[in-house]
Amino acid sequence: MNSISFKYHTVVAVFAAVLFSSCNDLELAPTNKFTEANYWTSPDKATYVLNMAYSQMSSAGVLFNNEALSDNLYGTRGQSNEKIISSGQANADNGRFASEWSDCYAGLKTCHTFLDNVDGVPDMDETLKARMKAEARFIRAFLFFRLTTWFGDVPLFTTDITLSQSKTIARTPQADVLSFILAELEDVANILPSKQEYANADRGRITKGAAVAMKARVYLYQNDWANVSAECEKLINSENYGKYELFNSYAGLFLPENEYNSEVILDYQYVPVYKTWGEYFDYAPITAGARVNALAPAQELADAYLMLDGKTISESGTSYDEDNPYDNRDPRLTATIVYDGYQWTDNSGTRTIYIKPGSAPAGQNQDEYVGPGQNSSGTGYYMRKYFDPSYTGSFASGLNIILFRYADILLMYAEAKNELGQMTETIWNNTIKPIRQRAGFTATNALNYPDGNSAALQDVIRRERRCELAVEGTRIFDLRRWKTIETTHNGYPHGAKFGDISIDNGYIRLDARKFDPERDYLWAVPQAQKDLNPNLGQNPKY
């Protein structure tokens, strides 16, 4: 097998999913052909079904839409499902609620079809079979985690169910769903190979390190700090679950030539030409070839990045120049956000991006801010992180989307230790400091262990997490577990200082967000699912 075999066969599985898709409920059956007994005749056919389950784990669209739910990005055109949710106006008919439910249960259908049938494959190597079953169980746990994080109680089942069963099954309490997920991850971590034990042809497959990383994330979302710490230590203090380290370039992490680098624990696979994503067609600057701007960074994200001396904007005094607000800033800002005067480089060269109204030379004003609902950005910023300079037409990219990486492990560990009252200079020097060094900080004030109590360090660590992981799909879940979403999503987000100076000091006032803590920590069970199965009930206040 060559080095792209796993990715290639995943694409074959995606095509199969399209061919065999059917209804929109818990019995969603994209794999109905795979349930026929005469299908399960070879290990290769079993592999196609497993790879199809891989393809249903997530997508670039899910990542960016999750960021649109947070305070990092803002939907600049129309009323997307995510914008309706953030405005507090969503009901049980919201399309994102429906797709999250149906997409996850479609993937679970594939996992259960595989697990219910793989033991019948003749002449299959038992070690390979055990590994593949562990992969399917991880994907199943991953999908159930997506579901329970958004919906709370969800139907939990561990084998394929019939259409009639899908119309009567009740929801399982969230605590039981989480217990199942954690037990599965613990078990498969002892079965799966490490990253280094896989052949190149299988790069991108789920590893024991991925099982540990996901277990840490499950505990993180429950604020179970002792267990977060214990799981992270398995990857930090030992190579028994695989060897991981920070990649030497922050911007390089998200370039196709550096896929599968030392920091990546698990990513979602794309393949140039065969299976691509093209969201940047509506995210990049217009002068870079984009169609329109539909999603853009908010001013609050830009403001989160420190000065190079380690101080925040408000702490920096005269070192922060409002006329040149992007100078002497955390280099991750430039790796993530396109601002006025940005030097944009792609496969056709380098160009200056002019966004401030009236700043562009003749014929180069397409990116200038002109107000809401226009082709150009509605926030005065564009996105850069995850842009693939090697894209083909319409920004089609085969760049993998990272689901878990080692920097996240270090950040989770630092946060857990601080919340436990166990943060020390040694832990700082092994977590936050190397992350900042890799980002490009050199000033002593930025790198040294800061003075202050746990509450002060909490702000530092949370800010670091936001800047390091911006536009990677994790921010909305952090806001929810910290309960800070009750502040960030009750009020007006902002864009760059291109607005009316009499309103919010000139920072563009965007549409208000609203979050009801008595309702919005859970999503509504989709109305279409309730219509099919009244036993599902509904979450409060929907």
For the chain, give the percent of residues with pLDDT over 70.
Answer: 93
* Predicted local distance difference test score (pLDDT) of residue 322: 87
CB 467 within 8 A of CB 441: no
* Predicted local distance difference test score (pLDDT) of residue 2: 35
Q: How far apart are CA 35 and CA 20, in angstroms?
A: 11
Is it true that domain 5-191+523-536 has CATH number 3.40.50.300? no
Closest of 395, 389, 369 to residue 494, by C-alpha? 369
What confidence tens digit (pLDDT) does each residue in 427-465 have? Answer: 999 999 999 999 999 999 999 999 888 899 999 999 999
Give SS3 for 99.
Answer: helix
* Predicted local distance difference test score (pLDDT) of residue 32: 55
Q: Is 380 exposed, middle or buried (0-12, 13-18, 19+ CB in 10 A)?
A: buried
* Predicted local distance difference test score (pLDDT) of residue 18: 37
How many residues comprise the chain? 542
* Predicted local distance difference test score (pLDDT) of residue 451: 84
**Mean pLDDT value of segment 400-412:** 98
Segments making up each domain of the chain, as ranges: 5-191+523-536
The pLDDT of residue 28 is above 60? no
The pLDDT of residue 495 is above 80? yes
In order of 150, 218, 343, the CA distances from 104 in angstroms are 11, 17, 40
Packing angle of the helix pair 454-469, 475-482 (nearest 10 deg): 160
The pLDDT of residue 316 is above 50? yes
* Predicted local distance difference test score (pLDDT) of residue 24: 39
Q: How far apart are CA 14 and CA 104, in angstroms?
A: 15
Maximal C-alpha separation, the chain? 75
* Predicted local distance difference test score (pLDDT) of residue 25: 52
What is the DSSP code string of 330-390? -HHHHHHEE-TTEEEEETTEEEEEP-STT-SPTT--TTS---TTSSS-SSS-EE-TT--TT
For the chain, give the percent of residues with pLDDT over 90.
Answer: 89
Name the pTM for this structure.
0.94
The pLDDT of residue 376 is above 80? yes
* Predicted local distance difference test score (pLDDT) of residue 34: 64
Question: pLDDT averaged over the chain?
Answer: 93
Buried b (16+ CB within 10 A) or exposed e, 323-340: eebeeebbebbbbbbbbb
The pLDDT of residue 222 is above 90? yes
Closest of 512, 493, 504, 501 to residue 379, by C-alpha? 493
What is the pLDDT confidence band of residue 26, given thresholds at 50, 70 and 90? Answer: low
